[in-house]
Amino acid sequence: MTDPAPTARDAASVPVIVVGDAGPRDEGDDLLRGLNEPQRRAVTYRGPALLIVAGAGSGKTRVLTHRIALLLRNREAWPSQILAITFTNKAAGEMRERVGQLVGESARGMWISTFHSACVRILRREAEQFGFKNSFTIYDSGDSRALIKRLVKEHEADAFGLTPASVQSRISKLKNELADAESYARQANMNDPAERIFVELFGAYERALRKSNAFDFDDLIAQTVYLFRAFPHVADVYRRRFRHILVDEYQDTNHAQYSLIRELTRPVSGASSAEPYSSGGMMIFEPEPAAATDALEGASLTVVGDSDQSIYAFRGADIRNISEFERDFPGAEVVLLEQNYRSTQNILSAANAVIGNNFDRKDKKLWTDVGAGEQIVGFTGYSQHDEAQFVADEIDRLRRSGVGYSDIAVFYRTNSQSRALEEIFIRSAVPYKIMGGTKFYERAEIKDALAYLTAVANPADEMAVRRILNRPRRGIGDVTETAIARYADEQQITFRDALANASALAVGPKIQTAIAQLDAVLAEASELMLPASGEVAPASSVPEGLTLLLNKSGYLESLRRSKDPQDEARVENLDEFVAVAREFARNNPDGTILDFLTDVALVSDADDLDDGTGSVSLMTLHTAKGLEFDTVFITGVEEDLIPHRISAGEPGGPQEERRLFYVGITRARQRLYLSLAMTRAQFGEVSAAMPSRFLQEIPAELVNWRQSPGDVNGRGGTQSRALNARRPGGASGGFGGGNRYGDDLVPLGRSQRVTDPSRFPNRVTAKMRDNGDLQLAAGDRIRHDDFGEGRVDTVTGEGAKRIAHVRFDTAGAKKLLIKVAPITKL
């Protein structure tokens, strides 16, 4: 943690400034060039607190990096005195790089990281202060769900209507509010048996974590706050160190994160009554240990945010953190950035119109001087496959007109929507990359490998040891696992240590041997990765140890022998994981196994956005926050999806959904597509979808509906598009309708579009095809606009969701939603 003192090179690269000089220097001119007036003010203002209200695309990253660069270049701060908090590791990396480009070497030693990474660094240093070991491991949500699941089962809490998911989310919410089991119990209604059992679970969960020497995600923040409050002298070390704290995406901070910032920016009440260490912008050249007993004013705080982009209320983000910033930090300066440097005016107008429907917000209008740009393109498909095919075709068209794949992104509301897109993209040979979703690190084989590493790095982590106990199959089942746990309990040793005493367990000889082997493999790996006395293992021991574990445990062997075809892919995934470990060792020559595990635990969805491969990026609207692309497709713009059905019942839900849509729109630089489908399969059954209410909020003249919801009536949607991906010249098929809109979607004439009210997005909502309660029965003949004639086999489902299973004369068997399909009974 102690950063190297600035080198001679640093000193040479910056002009020497006289101590006591206040404010930015002329030397920063190039850092201010090209900035507009508010941006400039945001870069140069000096004071205890600064709030930068930064609309989407208003150059806030530029402002932040230049602000840091100016602080460094003017010698107002050492790199080590700067703490910058970003939302993702990727954003942190970018910021570090950009500051580096501005000021060179002197950028080293800054803390630029996420809340979670910063807290891990602090906790690793200080864990011993409060009963943890610095080898603690981090439970991701999957790990903690597994633990909670076990506890729920053990406490038979399901009888009280407590599911693992509900318990997990409640605990998470409470931790974000800085409550612990004890404080919560004091004000809980203990007459309610469900409440009592929840309190019990909460407490058991906390104890299990502590026993395992582990923190969950929420703990990383909450325990750091606890640490600072319980041990002021520890907090003072960090208060002295960080003199400039900058927080990005402040609108999405939760109470725990807010409290952490508050703690860090508190003044230090020195032990002696010496002169204040710093005042009025005085330069601070002293390294931190000096004058450690002096009083010190609070660190200077800069926060950047936009309440219109607050989309994480569901995980405890509190919009009040930003809206009441001025009250929290009296005398705070506020700077508004409204000029947008990202998008065309059409895109901004749509965004402004949409977000304007949220009441209870400060009016803020993004504007640009780059001109109107292209119209937004709208499209309605018959099914989600049809919609996906449109996206794929359009990407192909853009590609041929010179747009790179990596400049294109496709957004959706829920992860499950990616499936249809993927299917079509594969068939259409569109290279794509899914960010987040079923993550690499969530795959079972990767979690197993991680559990092996964890069992070595933190033997106290019982969950990890239990996980690998019978992976690969060793014949160790429930009974044996319980026997080990009981033995560990009796002997007052850890679960891991109990493995070393296999012979003492009342289990068969075969199983004893299996346990002893596992123990030996773990011991061998420990020796390699955690050499006993003082010496530090080289980073290369991480991939080596991993390989050893996977081989000698028999894990790889059993996968290779397996006849399950999926296991082949698992082996490949593990190979990739070993490659990741090698990469880590190469990038972090001093990295330990714990560093590796920490890195892996804290990667975020947006982090693996890679720049070089030239693929289209697929991601949820949430993941899209903070990113930008030339071309953006927002898909599934339907009621019940965006706004999501579940949001309707939550206070502030619909408004947050609107912000989410707004975030999506404002990611686009040049081109924006909004698409939806008339029917969508969900839970394995098809149902009718309605256009999102948000579409109506966009002024009609901004949108060019290639196919509006109204147009899908009776002639538009064809599954043929989706079913015949590559279809040169529309030669395939043989359907009655043929290729109505293949690769060359001809936009409707402008006058027609604007004057025909049926094409106004705000009229289309009601104009869906509706066959009413058209009755069909097995044996009926029907005609489909695209598939031609066919015979009904059966009818399933009820009401609006009745589905006809039809055997078409030429197009084969299809399932059709009777209510909306373009069909007539013959």
Which positions are catalytic? 60-61, 248-249, 309, 667
Identify the three-state secondary structure at position 626: coil
Closer Cβ to DNA, 50 or 409, answer by number: 409
Identified binder of DNA from the candidate list 45, 184, 205, 217, rule CB under 7 A: 217
Measure the CA angle with vertex 262, ends 286 and 54; round to 5°: 95
> What are the residues whose beta carbons fall under 8 Å from the beta carbon of 240, sequence distance 6 or more?
268, 288, 292, 296
- Max CA pair span of the chain: 96
Identify the three-state secondary structure at position 93: helix
Cβ 611 to DNA shortest distance, Å: 18
Task: Name the amino acid, one letter, at 642.
Answer: I
Cβ 274 to DNA shortest distance, Å: 39
Residues 593-612, interacting with DNA (CB under 7 A): 602, 604-606
Q: Is 474 in the site for DNA (CB under 7 A)?
A: yes
Please state, in angstroms and rounded to a whole number, the distance separating the CA atoms of residues 230 and 393.
Answer: 60
User: Quick check: 786 and 736 in contact, CB under 8 A?
Assistant: yes
Please state, in angstroms and rounded to a whole number, the distance separating the CA atoms of residues 19 and 272.
Answer: 23
Q: Is 555 in the site for DNA (CB under 7 A)?
A: no
Identified binder of DNA from the candidate list 99, 476, 559, 627, rule CB under 7 A: 476
Measure the CA angle with vertex 461, ends 456 and 466; round to 5°: 90
Q: Can you list the alpha helix ranges (DSSP code H) found in 193-254?
A: 193-211, 217-230, 232-241
> What are the residues whose beta carbons fall under 8 Å from the beta carbon of 694, sequence distance 6 or more?
354, 637, 642, 643, 658, 661
Quickly count helices (H) and strands (E) in the chain: 33, 22
Cβ 79 to DNA shortest distance, Å: 23
Closer Cβ to DNA, 217 or 238, answer by number: 217
Cβ 179 to DNA shortest distance, Å: 16
Q: Is 803 in the site for DNA (CB under 7 A)?
A: no
Cβ 476 to DNA shortest distance, Å: 6
Identified binder of DNA from the candidate list 60, 66, 67, 116, rule CB under 7 A: 116
To the question of whether residue 801 is assigned a binding role by annotation, the answer is: no
b/e code 39-55 from CB counts within 10 Å (16+ = b)? bbbbbbbbebbbbbbbb
Residues 69-98, interacting with DNA (CB under 7 A): 87-88
Q: Is 141 in the site for DNA (CB under 7 A)?
A: yes
Q: Is 471 in the site for DNA (CB under 7 A)?
A: no
To the question of whether residue 56 is assigned a binding role by annotation, the answer is: yes
Q: Bridge partners of 336?
A: 53
Measure the CA angle with vertex 598, ends 595 and 599; round to 5°: 85
| C-alpha dist (Å) from residue 365 to 56, 96, 673, 703 | 10, 30, 22, 20
**Strands 82-86 and 244-247, how do they pair?**
parallel
Closer Cβ to DNA, 61 or 470, answer by number: 470
Identified binder of DNA from the candidate list 207, 211, 473, 560, rule CB under 7 A: 473
**Strands 679-682 and 685-688, how do they pair?**
antiparallel
User: Quick check: 547 and 578 in contact, CB under 8 A?
Assistant: yes
Identified binder of DNA from the candidate list 66, 124, 255, 622, rule CB under 7 A: 622
Residues 381-420, interacting with DNA (CB under 7 A): 413-416
Q: Is 644 in the site for DNA (CB under 7 A)?
A: yes
Q: Which residue in this structure is represented by tokens 């009609």?
A: 700
Closer Cβ to DNA, 685 or 701, answer by number: 685
Which of 734, 636, 632, 649 is CA-nearest to residue 679?
Answer: 636
Q: Count residues contacting DNA (CB under 7 A)?
A: 47
Closer Cβ to DNA, 423 or 497, answer by number: 423
**Strands 812-817 and 803-808, how do they pair?**
antiparallel
Identified binder of DNA from the candidate list 682, 696, 732, 762, rule CB under 7 A: 682
Task: Name the amino acid, one letter, at 611.
Answer: D
Identified binder of DNA from the candidate list 480, 598, 719, 739, rule CB under 7 A: 480
Identify the three-state secondary structure at position 49: strand
Cβ 617 to DNA shortest distance, Å: 13
String of DSSP letters for 759-814: GSHHHHTT-----TT----TT-EEEETTTEEEEEEEEES-GGG-EEEEEETTTEEE
Stretch that binds DNA, among 382-390, 467-475, 698-706, 754-762 (CB under 7 A): 467-475
Q: Is 560 in the site for DNA (CB under 7 A)?
A: no
Stretch that binds DNA, among 36-44, 531-539, 619-627, 818-826 (CB under 7 A): 619-627
Closer Cβ to DNA, 227 or 398, answer by number: 227
Closer Cβ to DNA, 296 or 556, answer by number: 556
Residues 481-540, interacting with DNA (CB under 7 A): none
Please state, in angstroms and rounded to a whole number, the distance separating the CA atoms of residues 798 and 787.
Answer: 24
Q: Is 248 in the site for DNA (CB under 7 A)?
A: no
What angle do the packed helices 255-264 and 217-230 form, to 10 degrees? 40
To the question of whether residue 812 is assigned a binding role by annotation, the answer is: no
Cβ 412 to DNA shortest distance, Å: 8
Cβ 318 to DNA shortest distance, Å: 14
Cβ 218 to DNA shortest distance, Å: 7
Which of 521, 520, 567 is CA-nearest to residue 547?
Answer: 521
To the question of whether residue 57 is assigned a binding role by annotation, the answer is: yes
Tokens read off for 272:
């002696």
Q: Is 573 in the site for DNA (CB under 7 A)?
A: no
Please state, in angstroms and rounded to a whole number, the distance separating the CA atoms of residues 92 and 177.
Answer: 26
> What are the residues whose beta carbons fall under 8 Å from the beta carbon of 179, sequence distance 6 or more?
none
Closer Cβ to DNA, 514 or 702, answer by number: 514
Cβ 116 to DNA shortest distance, Å: 4
Cβ 431 to DNA shortest distance, Å: 21
Residues 690-729, interacting with DNA (CB under 7 A): none
Stretch that binds DNA, among 70-78, 240-248, 446-454, 470-478 (CB under 7 A): 470-478
DSSP character at residue 825:
E
Mask of contacts with DNA, 357-376, x by CB under 7 A? Answer: --------------------
Closer Cβ to DNA, 149 or 767, answer by number: 149
Task: Name the amino acid, one letter, at 80.
Answer: S
To the question of whether residue 61 is assigned a binding role by annotation, the answer is: yes
To the question of whether residue 253 is assigned a binding role by annotation, the answer is: no
The dihedrals phi and psi of 189, each to the nearest 5 degrees, come to -85, 95
Q: Is 663 in the site for DNA (CB under 7 A)?
A: no
Closer Cβ to DNA, 658 or 759, answer by number: 658
To the question of whether residue 545 is assigned a binding role by annotation, the answer is: no
User: Quick check: 284 and 600 in contact, CB under 8 A?
Assistant: no
Residues 426-445, interacting with DNA (CB under 7 A): 436
Q: Is 477 in the site for DNA (CB under 7 A)?
A: yes
DSSP character at residue 503:
G
Cβ 118 to DNA shortest distance, Å: 10
The dihedrals phi and psi of 197, each to the nearest 5 degrees, come to -70, -30
C-alpha dihedral sign at 557, 560, 563, 565:
positive
Mask of contacts with DNA, 315-354, x by CB under 7 A? Answer: x---------------------------------------
Residues 150-179, interacting with DNA (CB under 7 A): 165, 172
Closer Cβ to DNA, 141 or 323, answer by number: 141
Stretch that binds DNA, among 187-195, 293-301, 476-484, 583-591 (CB under 7 A): 476-484
Does an H or E element contain 675, and which?
strand 668-677
The dihedrals phi and psi of 499, each to the nearest 5 degrees, come to -60, -30
Binding residues for ATP: 54-61
Q: Which residues in this chain contact DNA in the complex, by CB under 7 A?
A: 87-88, 114-116, 140-141, 149, 165, 172, 217-218, 311-312, 314-315, 413-416, 436, 470, 473-480, 602, 604-606, 619-620, 622-623, 644, 646-647, 650, 653, 681-684
